[in-house]
Amino acid sequence: MRIATLTSGGDCPGLNAVIRSVVRTSSAEYGSTVVGYEDGWVGLLEDRRVQLYDDEGIDRLLIRGGTILGTGRMKTEVFKEGIDRIKENLADANIDALIPIGGEGTLKGAKFLADNGVPVVGVPKTIDNDVNNTDYTFGFDTAVAVATDAVDRLHTTAESHNRVMIVEVMGRHVGWIALHSGMAGGAHYIVIPEEPFDINEIVKSMERRFQMGEKYGIIVVAEGAKPKDGTMELEDRGTDVFGHKIFAGIGEMIGKEFTRRTDYDVRTTVLGHIQRGGTPTAFDRVLATRYGVHATRAVHEGDFGSAVALQSGEVVRIPLSEAVGQLKTVPPGRYRTAKALFG
Ligand code: F6P
């Protein structure tokens, strides 16, 4: 077979490990070859592709962050209008199957192609860990490790200066990174998009902490966190060209509210893309590798219109329709568990 792969949406540690895994499995188990389209769906539409060889170079990809193919985003209308061109490009390049690697948006694109007769098997990725029906996506563990390290480091400087430290982490719709890094780092309060926050409650929680003799506090906030209606004004900065909400810096806003209401010395740290860069953790390397092997096998068994997923520790195949349409949010019970340790 001749297989094509591409990486689309925000990058994340482990993408290269999937590419390596697809190339090696295709070659070693099936004698198949693999090409990569550059810069996500854009490269497929513009027919920009590179041959990927099962050589030393591909082996070195295991530990390399980012994606050697490049990634990108594309407006849904442009993508849908380009369906005939995409089909032509795949046919002209003699591609038998496509393995797109991406998050919810990419998998929706994959489903659209599958519904239009393109042989596709999707691989879920995102540091946000919000793809439905899979326990984990690779990239998440690395992001949590980076954010936890940051929280660990902020403890000592916060304590030295008797400060309230606010750490803003990624998570546009879901709070998995905030929840896990906050729990692992022993944060004193965690704010996630799924649970609209009350600024009064957060301030009171810090006050209780200081009254009990503690000298500092750490608050981890997901970038997509929202206040309860009527409790705090938020700046609305609209959406970007892809329709994604532009965040106005929720960590900084919570910090300002603290300064307005209390005498605490407050500092905010925004981790941003540091969480997405660099080498993947061992967990993410293994998960990415397993996804690559299983996606390649699914392709060779003709199981198109599916995506690989991790369920109860096993890599399984699910219909693409089950991976999209709904995000995997933090269940209320998981937040309540974390809350038991606040303060
Ligand atoms: O990969 C998902 C994500 O990390 C979100 O949490 C974040 O809001 C977004 O990507 C930012 O991506 P970019 O800056 O590349 O648009």
Is the minimum distance from the CB of 334 to ligand 1 under 6 angstroms?
Answer: no
Q: How many Å from the N-terminal Cα to the C-terminal Cα in the chain?
A: 57
Is the minimum distance from the CB of 127 to ligand 1 under 6 angstroms?
Answer: yes
pLDDT at 47 over 90: yes
pLDDT in tens, 188-239: 999 999 999 999 999 999 999 999 999 999 999 999 999 999 998 888 888 9
pLDDT at 274 over 90: yes
Q: Which of 128, 130, 141, 284 is catalytic?
A: 128
Is the minimum distance from the CB of 165 to ligand 1 under 6 angstroms?
Answer: no
| Nearest Cα residue to 100 out of 92, 89, 111, 91 | 111
Counting from 1 in the atom list of ligand 1, the atom nearest the Cα of 177 is: 6
Counting from 1 in the atom list of ligand 1, the atom nearest the Cα of 223 is: 8
Q: Is 230 exposed, middle or buried (0-12, 13-18, 19+ CB in 10 A)?
A: exposed
Q: What is the pLDDT of residue 187?
A: 98
| Mean pLDDT over the full length of the chain | 97
CA distances from 302 to 19, 31, 92, 295, 305 (A): 19, 16, 20, 11, 9
Is the minimum distance from the CB of 126 to ligand 1 under 6 angstroms?
Answer: yes
Query: What is the distance between the alpha carbons of residues 239 and 300, in angstroms, rounded to a whole number?
Result: 40
Residue type present at position 74? M
Would you state the structure tokens that stand for residue 133, as one six-digit string? 């029906």
* Cα of 10 from ligand 1 centre, angstroms: 6
Q: What is the pLDDT of residue 234?
A: 84
Is 128 a residue of the active site? Answer: yes
Is the minimum distance from the CB of 128 to ligand 1 under 6 angstroms?
Answer: yes
Q: What is the pLDDT of residue 244?
A: 86
Q: Is the pTM of the predicted complex or chain greater than 0.95?
A: yes
Contact between 185 and 220 (Cβ < 8 Å): yes
| Three-class secondary structure of residue 37 per DSSP | strand
pLDDT at 248 over 80: no
Arithmetic mean of pLDDT, 55-81 = 95
Question: Would you place residue 100 in the very low, low, confident or very high pLDDT band (cuts 50, 70, 90)?
Answer: very high
